[in-house]
């Protein structure tokens, strides 16, 4: 479909759920041989598998809250979104939430809380979390707002409800922008070479802010940490077929920090636009992206979820095997919500 088509919305939201559900199997594994990944994915085609057998984790649970809030409020409302996070957590606390964010979610449940951003600010001795929990749920911001300025502003605030360190919330901004550009057709052949440069120039502005500059100093990162990683993505891309999984992990990371997972997810998508050795020839790009994300090991559910959203916005819903969709809890809901977001997106007033 063309830019911002319904198929792209459905692809983005459904593939994010898929990444979370199929990636859960390997979360925390140090390395995953491709054989095991393919075995896991082939297993989904087994007829005896029941509907929705693979459960989603916190990544999808929180994404659903973001979606519901954006739809219900027809825009960003921090009070409403915070309330939904807290309610979801108290209803299903066993979805594999990060160890730190649980404290925030408990505090957000308090009816006496005035400033919903305060609990997140208190995390990790006051500098806030740099985990990827803000980024893992950022895709819907690109599906609710069409203007990059709005996407930047609201994906940042949405992440700050739990992640107030710039190394956390700027990962969410990057993820939302990647989904946005993909949704606009930015990964189609004629635009493909400039995809990463667009992200770098957006992030140069984002990371020029004082908070980002001071956090990168506190954590002894380079001056523009996300831009730095995006340049590494570009370097790895230029080396094309000669990049090993080990190098991707050592250059970009596969961990729970947003800085070590969002650029990695972006790399997975770009790398899998072409057929790759070691991946089945019958696989299309979306299937390749999923398999490759899982083979990196580490935070597989989250990296596959983020890569899934970006890839799904490019390939559209028809690229996702129906048999995979049937195996994943929440895939059907995601499909329905994608249509609602598509309507909201195209109705949104010009001033945002
Ligand atoms: O970021 P968050 O929501 O976790 C998301 C991850 C995803 O992989 C999900 O699939 C789920 O498995 O969890 O949760 P946080 O607790 O904010 O951050 C995750 C972890 O990162 C924390 O538990 C810490 O171990 C680490 N971390 C930090 N450690 C030291 N200093 C995050 N921020 C800091 C920090 O500032
Ligand atoms: Mg998870
Ligand atoms: Mg995870």
If one counts every other C-beta atom within 10 angstroms of the C-beta of residue 250, the result is: 10
Tell me, in angstroms, the distance from the centre of ligand 2 to residue 260's CA: 15
Note the pLDDT of residue 87: 98
Tell me, in angstroms, the distance from the centre of ligand 2 to residue 193's CA: 32
User: Among all ligands shown, which has an atom nearest to the Cα of 135?
Assistant: 1
* Continuous H helices in the chain: 6-23, 34-43, 58-73, 78-91, 101-108, 118-121, 139-144, 148-160, 166-183, 195-206, 210-218, 225-238, 245-252, 262-271, 285-295, 300-315, 322-327, 331-347
Dig out the tokens for 131 from the structure. 């985990």
Tell me, in angstroms, the distance from the centre of ligand 3 to residue 302's CA: 4
Note the pLDDT of residue 350: 53
Name residue, tokens 């490019």: 314
Note the pLDDT of residue 352: 43
Note the pLDDT of residue 46: 80
Note the pLDDT of residue 50: 65
Please write the tens of the pLDDT for every residue from 30-59.
889 999 999 999 999 886 666 768 999 999
Note the pLDDT of residue 242: 83
* Residues in the chain, pLDDT under 50: 352
| Domains along the chain with CATH numbers | 6-347 (1.10.4080.10)
Atom of ligand 1 nearest to the CA of 57: 10
């Amino acid at each position: 479909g063309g830019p911002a088509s319904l198929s792209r919305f459905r692809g983005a939201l459904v593939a994010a759920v898929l990444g979370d559900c199929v990636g859960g199997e390997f979360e925390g594994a140090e390395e995953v041989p491709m054989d095991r990944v393919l075995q896991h994915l082939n297993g989904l085609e087994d007829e005896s598998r029941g509907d929705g057998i693979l459960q989603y984790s916190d990544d999808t649970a929180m994404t659903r809250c973001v979606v519901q809030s954006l739809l219900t409020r027809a825009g960003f409302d921090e009070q409403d979104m915070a309330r939904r996070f807290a309610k979801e957590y108290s209803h299903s606390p066993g979805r594999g939430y990060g160890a730190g964010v649980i404290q925030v979610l408990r505090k957000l449940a308090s009816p006496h809380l005035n400033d919903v951003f305060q609990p997140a600010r208190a995390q990790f001795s006051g500098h806030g979390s740099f985990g990827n929990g803000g980024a893992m749920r950022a895709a819907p911001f690109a599906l609710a707002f069409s203007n990059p300025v709005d996407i930047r502003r609201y994906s940042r605030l949405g992440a700050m409800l739990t992640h107030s360190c710039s190394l956390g919330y700027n990962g969410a901004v990057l993820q939302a922008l990647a989904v946005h550009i993909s949704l606009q057709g930015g990964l189609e052949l004629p635009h493909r070479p400039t995809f990463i440069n667009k992200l770098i120039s957006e992030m140069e502005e984002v990371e020029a802010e004082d908070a980002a500059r001071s956090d990168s100093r506190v954590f002894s990162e380079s001056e523009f940490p996300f831009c730095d990683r995006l340049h590494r993505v570009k370097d790895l891309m230029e080396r094309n077929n000669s990049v090993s999984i080990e190098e991707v992990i050592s250059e970009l990371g596969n961990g729970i920090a947003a800085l070590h997972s969002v650029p990695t997810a972006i790399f997975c998508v770009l790398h899998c636009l072409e057929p790759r050795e070691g991946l089945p020839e019958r696989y299309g790009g979306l299937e390749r992206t999923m398999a490759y994300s899982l083979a990196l090991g580490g935070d597989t559910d989250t990296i596959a979820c983020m890569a899934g959203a970006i890839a799904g916005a490019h390939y559209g819903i028809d690229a996702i095997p129906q048999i995979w969709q049937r195996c994943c809890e929440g895939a059907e809901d995601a499909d329905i919500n994608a249509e609602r977001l598509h309507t909201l997106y195209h109705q949104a007033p010009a001033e945002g």
